[in-house]
Structure 1
Amino acid sequence: MRIGLVVDSACDLPRDYIEQHRIGILPITIHLEGRDFVDRREPEATLDFYRNHMSAAADAGTSAFSPEQIKEFFLNDLVTQYDFVVCLTIASSRSPIYENAVKASFAILSEYKPVRSAAGVAGPFSLRVIDSQNLFAGQAITAVETVRMIQDGVGNPNKIRERLDQLIQNTYGYMIPRDLNHLRKRAQKRGDRSIGLVGAMLGTALDIKPLLRAYRNETGPVAKLRHFDDAAQKAFGYIEKRVTAGLMTPTVSLCYGGDLADMRKLPGYDELIRTCRRKNVEVFESIMSITGGANVGEGALAFAFAAEPHEVEL
């Protein structure tokens, strides 16, 4: 069975990894300053956005692929290439992509037969739309595990679904914002009042950074840390503790809202990489997507892993 993977562009994976494993991308469009920026996870375009457009990005609008666009994407590009496709989306609590993909799936499954027949492809086509219940770096954990199962020859869609369902319930995605004012403005535009004006002003004045967690379709602060560099060092140390204790998959995901060279200079980064290498844990590093950056601001650090339930250890 030929099995493929599709993610949306908010899923933070390295571009070379996406290309190597032929991962399909459902793009998200950013509407800003009278222009449309289509987020296709292209590193150069992403860095250009950070350097030249981020100052106005708090006022951006976003558009996910509609059900019709998703249907056309599958019928044009995927139903003849694969027999089964996993479509893994950003948390349904934060985006309509999951709902749109589910709606599209019914049309895809009712219309794929003549497309495959015309291409001379025999047999049925199926797909599974899965809500990652996470964001950014957190989506990458489940995506990497999907690729790993495909490479290992797991050809039973039910086994893939069961494994991903288990992993999703135990994936911890975190983010440390650098610019609280951007985060507050963006949250207000989306109707999210979790970061108020007073809190943002106080955090900026005292250089307090919240540690935000995405877990099982819920997002919110779980700790307050002083100074971004110190917060990053504590975060890297926390990841080290979980790596040492044992993860559910040998994978850590890191993403940064800007040039990755800046992330690699943060205190604690080198120690984390050494620990992961010693424990045979693969680290995936990527520039945070245009979609993610527009929502949380420049210079944000996000990370994720899958582990048994535990409390945050900083």
Structure 2
Amino acid sequence: MSFKIVVDSCCELPEEYLQDPRFEIVPLGLEVGDYRIQDDESFNQAEFLKKVAESPQCPRSACPSPEKFREAYCTEAEHVYAITLSSHLSGSYNSAVLGMNLYREKYGKKQIHVVDSESASCGETQIVKKLVELEEQGLPFEEIVKQIEEFRSNMHTYFVLDNLETLRKNGRLTGVKALVASTLSIKPIMAGDKGNIVQRGQSIGMKKALRRMAEIILEEVGDAQHRTLMITHCNAPDRAETIKKLLTDKVQFRDCLIMDTRGVSSMYANDGGVIVTV
């Protein structure tokens, strides 16, 4: 069966997927003061981070319109999947669902499934890779939908950022009750909980925070050999390699992938942020 996978631009797609017509990225909008861009293939991370550093205003994102998703669903592929960042963090999921309804109103019924990643960044990538694996097994659409929802619910997301202000000012930390201000080099270790952001710990300094995050991951993920370790970083390859080593020195993962963040993830992670999903 033929398939197409649509993702919003919070997802970091591996290089081999970027030129593959079975994959399409629907971009979010990014703005820093008067500077407005689409998070597409023209995104320049260094330029964007410079704008963020220079602006007194907090950067913001705008989710894609339902029409953009509807257009992405226009394909001869028999199975279509859309993966979005957590519905608790963005309106992207709702737009993808509305886009599916618009498609069906105009073109009739089609096998489309929208996945709320309950994560972001490489969390979406995890779901993409799993969908490809399930499709290559030749499973029926209904069985793939069932398995991908179960996979999503068993996925773990963690992150440590140098700066939490973008998340805070954009209202993405409302569920975090005991968050320590990111001053005096205190780095909270954060995680996803059914799409919401929660705090799992804190350390003084990034090195200790990465070490503590690795400890938490090892405590909570018991079947590492069956999981892919994915790490995204915002202009911080050394930190990504550090967390990889801290984890792979202790357990063996099925596979490991390190990527740099796209626009939306760069905005929220800020310069130096590291995100891990397993």
Question: Could you say what secondary structure the match of 2:183 adopts?
Answer: helix
Does residue 298 of the first structure (1) align with residue 275 of the second (2)?
Answer: no
Q: Distance in 2 between matches of 1:139 and 1:167?
A: 12
1:160 corresponding residue in structure 2: 144
Question: Could you say what secondary structure the match of 1:171 adopts?
Answer: coil
Question: Could you say what secondary structure the match of 2:125 adopts?
Answer: helix
Q: Which one of 117, 123, 135 corresponds to residue 120 of structure 2?
A: 135
1:31–1:225 distance in 2 versus 1, CA, 3 Å: same
Question: Could you say what secondary structure the match of 1:204 adopts?
Answer: coil
Q: Give the TM-score normalised by the residue count of structure 2.
A: 0.86
1:17–1:232 distance in 2 versus 1, CA, 3 Å: farther
Unaligned runs of 5+ in 2: none
Q: Give the TM-score normalised by the residue count of structure 1.
A: 0.77
Q: Which one of 272, 280, 286 corresponds to residue 247 of structure 2?
A: 272
1:255 corresponding residue in structure 2: 232
Does residue 224 of the first structure (1) align with residue 222 of the second (2)?
Answer: no
Equivalent AA in structure 2 for residue 171 of structure 1: M
Matches within 5 A, 1:74-93: 74-75=73-74, 79-80=75-76, 82-93=77-88
Deviation larger for 290-299 or 20-29: 20-29
Equivalent AA in structure 2 for residue 188 of structure 1: K
2:153 corresponding residue in structure 1: 169
Q: Distance in 2 between matches of 1:19 and 1:286?
A: 17
1:282–1:20 distance in 2 versus 1, CA, 3 Å: farther
> Greater CA radius of gyration, 1 or 2?
1
Q: Distance in 2 between matches of 1:10 and 1:65?
A: 11
Does residue 98 of the first structure (1) align with residue 93 of the second (2)?
Answer: yes
Equivalent AA in structure 2 for residue 215 of structure 1: D
1:142–1:265 distance in 2 versus 1, CA, 3 Å: closer
Report how far residue 247 of structure 1 moved.
3.6
Q: Distance in 1 between matches of 2:226 and 2:107?
A: 34
Name the structure, 1 or 2, with higher relative contact order (CA <8 Å, separation 6+): 1
Residue pair 1:14, 1:285 contacting (<8 A) in 2 also:
no
Question: Could you say what secondary structure the match of 1:40 adopts?
Answer: coil
Does residue 289 of the first structure (1) align with residue 262 of the second (2)?
Answer: yes
1:49 corresponding residue in structure 2: 48
Q: Distance in 2 between matches of 1:227 and 1:31?
A: 30
Report how far residue 208 of structure 1 moved.
1.3
Equivalent AA in structure 2 for residue 53 of structure 1: K
2:130 corresponding residue in structure 1: 145
Q: Distance in 1 between matches of 2:20 and 2:211?
A: 32
1:35 corresponding residue in structure 2: 35
Residue pair 1:13, 1:284 contacting (<8 A) in 2 also:
no
1:219–1:49 distance in 2 versus 1, CA, 3 Å: same
Equivalent AA in structure 2 for residue 257 of structure 1: C
1:21–1:175 distance in 2 versus 1, CA, 3 Å: farther
Report how far residue 138 of structure 1 moved.
2.1
Matches within 5 A, 1:201-240: 203-205=182-184, 207-239=185-217
Q: What is the CA deviation profile of residues 71-107 of structure 1, one whole-angstrom value per residue up to 9, with x for unaligned ones?
A: 22323xxx22x11111111111111111111111112
Report how far residue 144 of structure 1 moved.
1.4
> Which has a greater percent of helix?
1
Q: Distance in 2 between matches of 1:83 and 1:153?
A: 12
1:240–1:192 distance in 2 versus 1, CA, 3 Å: closer
Report how far residue 239 of structure 1 moved.
4.0
Q: What is the CA deviation profile of residues 109-152 of structure 1, one whole-angstrom value per residue up to 9, with x for unaligned ones?
A: 23236xxxxxxxxxx73211121111223222222111111223
Q: Cα RMSD between the aligned structures? A: 2.8
Q: Distance in 1 between matches of 2:45 and 2:133?
A: 27
Equivalent AA in structure 2 for residue 256 of structure 1: H
Residue pair 2:8, 2:85 contacting (<8 A) in 1 also:
yes
1:257–1:58 distance in 2 versus 1, CA, 3 Å: farther
Report how far residue 289 of structure 1 moved.
2.2
Residue pair 2:188, 2:202 contacting (<8 A) in 1 also:
yes
Report sequence identity in percent. Answer: 17
Equivalent AA in structure 2 for residue 190 of structure 1: G
May I ask how many residue pairs the two structures share in their alignment?
276
